[in-house]
């Protein structure tokens, strides 16, 4: 295959690989400074002076820690989230509204993190030997709770979510949903164009809050068959229980992570605990070390996490092709996603860095499906019931 010239989006996407490394190193240096300069012990002392109640001490420490690390991490965050996105024409926000979003995100992590961290430290202090087992379970429960409330309480903090009421869009989507046994009455729209030019859709929530949301970029710029093909993919996530399977996979990873934490925290504190003035694993001042070990763990696990996600995405792709029977629409979507993802990576590159199949592989799968299933579009013979109502012919 002749080598394609490198497009600006290839450069953008490959820059993202390097950012994984720079984020890890930059964050690591900040955390080591916070520990090594004794700031962590200092913030803990402030918290202990303010209150005697342990959970409150943890909360106060968390607020100090989050604000300090957000300020120190700001230069890289503003390059990554603002200037770089504008440089490649993917962002739509001016600096003021972007900063306001950042401020809201900080507030959410201060509040949610304070609750989570004080709960987990409570478990560590009460069960110093087995905390990593109970902590893993608690973490998964908290994450599930977060997923449950996210579409209803978290997403609306940043964006407007509305029920889609254009029957031209909703009627074919709901018909496909019913044909696939999905009991939804509504499809949601989010005004993602407020922040970005990216087209996308997703399944979010858990149990009763589970829903399919399309973003307005997709609705505005996608063709009817493209939107329908993307919905087929999202329904695949839904029917194949990807949210629940993802939580179970994550439980396994969390148990390994926490067991590794237990060991590495004890090891590091034996060596440097006195120097850092950290008293033990139950001391909230240990938190920068927890984040340091965690970021190393997930940095190394990048290909594993991406492969877990990419495998689900591939399953949803194939489900979507079978459900929508719109390979051309699906290929159009893959081309549109090429506006922010490199289309044709090498196989190792895809394995390490891609959380979705590459555009190249998605289009290939769609065209192969089309070539091998043309007979599905012929009128059904008597006695062979159709699996699902065929989608309407594309109108363009």
Q: How far is the CB of 175 from Zn ion (least distance, A)?
A: 21
Q: How far is the CB of 205 from Zn ion (least distance, A)?
A: 15
Q: How far is the CB of 391 from Zn ion (least distance, A)?
A: 19
CA geometry: angle 108, 84, 296, nearest 5 deg? 60
Question: For Zn ion, which is the closer residue by CB, 46 or 248?
Answer: 248
Question: For Zn ion, which is the closer residue by CB, 316 or 321?
Answer: 316
Question: For Zn ion, which is the closer residue by CB, 64 or 313?
Answer: 313
CA distance 353 to 303: 6
> Residues 314 to 333: which contact Zn ion by CB under 5 A?
316
Query: What are the residues whose beta carbons fall under 8 Å from the beta carbon of 349, sequence distance 6 or more?
Result: none
CA distance 263 to 285: 17
Q: How far is the CB of 356 from Zn ion (least distance, A)?
A: 7
Residue 28: C-alpha distances to residues 161, 272, 286, 299 (Å): 36, 16, 14, 11
Q: How far is the CB of 233 from Zn ion (least distance, A)?
A: 6
The rounded Cα 365 to chain-centroid distance in angstroms is: 24
CA distance 282 to 44: 12
**Size of site (CB under 5 A) for Zn ion:** 2
Place of tokens 């200092």: 42
The 10 Å CB-count burial string (b at 16+, else e) for 1-16 is eeeeeeeebbebbeee
Question: For Zn ion, which is the closer residue by CB, 215 or 262?
Answer: 215
Helices and strands, counts by H and E, the chain = 16, 4
Q: How far is the CB of 237 from Zn ion (least distance, A)?
A: 6
Question: For Zn ion, which is the closer residue by CB, 11 or 248?
Answer: 248
3 state DSSP class of 189: strand
Question: For Zn ion, which is the closer residue by CB, 147 or 316?
Answer: 316
Question: For Zn ion, which is the closer residue by CB, 58 or 228?
Answer: 228
Residue 215 DSSP class: E
Taking residues 256 to 295 in sequence order and writing x for each that binds Zn ion by CB under 5 A, - otherwise, the string is: ----------------------------------------
Span interacting with Zn ion, options 56-64, 106-114, 119-127, 312-320, rule CB under 5 A: 312-320
Q: How far is the CB of 243 from Zn ion (least distance, A)?
A: 11
**Under the rule (CB under 5 A), what is the footprint of Zn ion?**
313, 316
């Amino acid at each position: 295959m002749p080598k394609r010239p490198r497009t600006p989006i290839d450069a953008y996407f490959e820059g993202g690989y390097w950012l994984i490394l720079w984020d890890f190193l930059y964050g690591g240096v900040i955390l080591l400074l916070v520990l090594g300069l004794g700031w962590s012990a200092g913030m803990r002392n402030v918290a202990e002076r303010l209150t005697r109640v342990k959970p409150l001490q943890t909360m106060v420490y968390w607020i100090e820690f989050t604000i300090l690390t957000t300020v120190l991490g700001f230069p890289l965050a503003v390059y990554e989230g603002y200037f770089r996105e504008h440089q490649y024409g993917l962002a739509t926000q001016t600096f003021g509204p972007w900063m306001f979003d950042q401020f809201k995100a900080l507030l959410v992590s201060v509040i949610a993190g304070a609750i989570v961290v004080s709960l987990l430290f409570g478990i560590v202090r009460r069960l110093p030997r087995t905390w990593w087992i109970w902590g893993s379970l608690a973490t998964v429960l908290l994450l599930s709770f977060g997923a449950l409330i996210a579409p209803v309480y978290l997403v609306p903090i940043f964006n407007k979510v509305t029920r889609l009421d254009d029957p031209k869009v909703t009627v074919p989507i709901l018909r496909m949903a019913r044909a696939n046994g999905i009991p939804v009455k509504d499809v949601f729209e989010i005004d993602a164009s407020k922040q970005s030019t990216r087209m996308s859709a997703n399944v979010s929530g858990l149990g009763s809050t589970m829903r399919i949301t399309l973003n307005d970029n997709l609705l505005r710029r996608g063709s009817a068959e493209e939107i329908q093909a993307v919905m087929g993919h999202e329904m695949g996530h839904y029917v194949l229980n990807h949210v629940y399977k993802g939580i179970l996979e994550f439980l396994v990873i969390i148990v390994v992570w926490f067991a590794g934490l237990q060991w590495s925290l004890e090891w590091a504190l034996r060596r440097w605990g006195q120097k850092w003035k950290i008293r033990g694993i139950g001391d909230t001042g240990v938190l920068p070390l927890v984040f340091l070990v965690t970021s190393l763990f997930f940095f190394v696990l990048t290909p594993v996490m991406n492969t877990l996600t990419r495998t689900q995405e591939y399953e949803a792709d194939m489900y979507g092709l079978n459900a929508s029977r719109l390979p051309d629409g699906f290929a159009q979507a893959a081309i549109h996603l090429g506006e922010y993802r490199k289309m044709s990576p090498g196989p190792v590159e895809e394995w390490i860095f891609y959380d979705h199949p590459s555009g190249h592989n998605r289009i290939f799968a769609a065209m192969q499906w089309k070539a091998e299933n043309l007979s599905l579009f012929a009128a059904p013979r008597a006695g062979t019931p159709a699996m699902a109502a065929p989608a309407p012919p594309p109108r363009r």
